[in-house]
Amino acid sequence: MRESKLWVYHIIAGAVILVLLGIHMFIMHLDAILYSLGIGSQNPIDSGVVFARSKELFFMITYIILLGTALYHGLYGFRNILMELTLAQKSEKIISGFLTFCGVLLFAYGTFAAVFVFMMK
Amino acid sequence: MKVERKHKKNNLGLAGWISGGRYGAERYAYTLHRITGLGILFYFLLHILVTSSRIWGQQAWEDSMAIFETPLFKFGEFLVFIAFAYHALNGVRLIITELGYGMGKPQRPVIPYKNAVRRQRPLLVVVMIIAVVIIVFGGLDFYFLGN
């Protein structure tokens, strides 16, 4: 695929992550502030709260979107850094292949986990 | 089509990445953007594996969370939060400038003139102030209000 296209996807993914990770960070790390305003839960990583959240359709879908966009954004960014080393073309191909493989594998595993817990009784 | 490539040696090595040289604050913003990006990526890959432990049930989740309830991990998490706030806000600036906003129209470089980097510098200041505010709120939550 054209490099410029991948770069545009990187930027779009960044914008998507900004929204979803913003929500994620508010729920997870500004929880005490939100809770004092009457939003969210007292302990967002309490297992009961975590499992209740995982069974909501909104969170299941946004988890998968965030997982995919963040993996792409992160691994493509990492690849960008490595490409600046001006390695031999063969090494570059191996790096790209390896990072794509890792990304797809982690995406599959994370998606499986999100869907599995969503359907869990 | 095969692209012909010149392999120039990266003479400066790591210093070529980290040092700002004769460039300004944005160059250091760029260095920090990469360092925080790599840090977040490392955390994120582990985060996928750890949070996926919930497929083994509530007990497995509680066991894996118990590992991270030490002051060291809490501080590490706060570092990730700082990296997130910086990377997100600086990323907003990068998207805005990438799309060509906030830099003014192209001008003839007649002395005295301001180049595009300097014209967008207020943007850097604004996003950094917002990042600091978010980090302060995060720190309050991590160490004073949270559980």
Residue of A nearest to B91 (CA): A14
The DSSP 8-state label assigned to residue B53 in this structure reads G
Contact between residue B12 and residue B59 where contact means Cβ atoms under 8 Å apart? no
pLDDT for residue A51: 86
The gap from C-alpha B85 to its chain's centroid, in whole angstroms, comes to 7
Alpha helices in chain A (DSSP H): 3-29, 31-36, 47-54, 57-83, 89-119
Q: In this structure, how many other beta carbons lie within 10 angstroms of the beta carbon of residue B112?
A: 5
pLDDT for residue B5: 61
Distance from CA of A2 to the nearest CA of B (A): 12
pLDDT tens-place string over residues A82-120: 998 878 899 999 999 999 999 999 999 999 999 998 988
Q: How many CA atoms lie within 13 A of A37 on its CB side?
A: 8
The DSSP 8-state label assigned to residue B68 in this structure reads T
Q: What percent of chain A has pLDDT over 70?
A: 98
pLDDT for residue B10: 65
* Contact between chains at B55 and A75 (C-beta distance less than 8 A): no
Cα–Cα distance between A44 and A47 in angstroms, integer? 8
Closest to A11 (Cβ–Cβ): which among B10, B81, B95? B95
Backbone angles phi, psi at B63, to 5 degrees: -65, -45
Residue of B nearest to A119 (CA): B55
Cα–Cα distance between A116 and A113 in angstroms, integer? 5
Chain A segment 46-85 residues within 8 A of B by beta carbon are 47-48, 50-51, 54, 67, 70-71, 74-75, 77-78, 81, 84-85
Chain B segment 81-110 residues within 8 A of A by beta carbon are 81, 84, 88, 91-92, 95, 98
* Contact between chains at B38 and A43 (C-beta distance less than 8 A): no
Closest to B55 (Cβ–Cβ): which among A25, A67, A116? A116
pLDDT for residue B109: 85
Question: What CATH number was assigned to the domain covering residues A3-119?
Answer: 1.20.1300.10
pLDDT for residue B2: 59
A42, A56, A68, A70 from A53: Cα distances, Å: 13, 5, 19, 20
B138 contacts on A by Cβ (under 8 Å) = 25, 29-30
Q: Does residue A55 carry a pLDDT above 80?
A: yes
Distance from CA of B107 to the nearest CA of A (A): 27
Task: Please report the domains of chain B, with CATH numbers, ordered by start residue.
Answer: 22-145 (1.20.1300.10)
Contact between residue B54 and residue B60 where contact means Cβ atoms under 8 Å apart? yes
**Token pair for residue A27?**
């729920």
Residues A56-80 as b/e (b if ≥16 CB within 10 A, e otherwise) read eeebbebbbebbbbbbbbbbbbbbe
Closest to B10 (Cβ–Cβ): which among A32, A50, A85? A85
Amino acid at residue number B97 = T
Q: What is the pLDDT along chain B (147 residues), one digit of tens a residue?
A: 556 666 666 677 777 777 777 778 888 999 999 999 999 999 999 999 999 988 888 888 888 888 888 889 989 999 999 999 999 999 999 999 999 888 888 888 888 888 888 888 899 999 999 999 999 999 988 888 765
Nearest alpha-carbon partner for A54 in A27, A76, A87: A27
**Token pair for residue B27?**
């160059």
A36, A91, A120, B20, B91 from B141: Cα distances, Å: 11, 45, 32, 34, 24
pLDDT for residue B3: 61
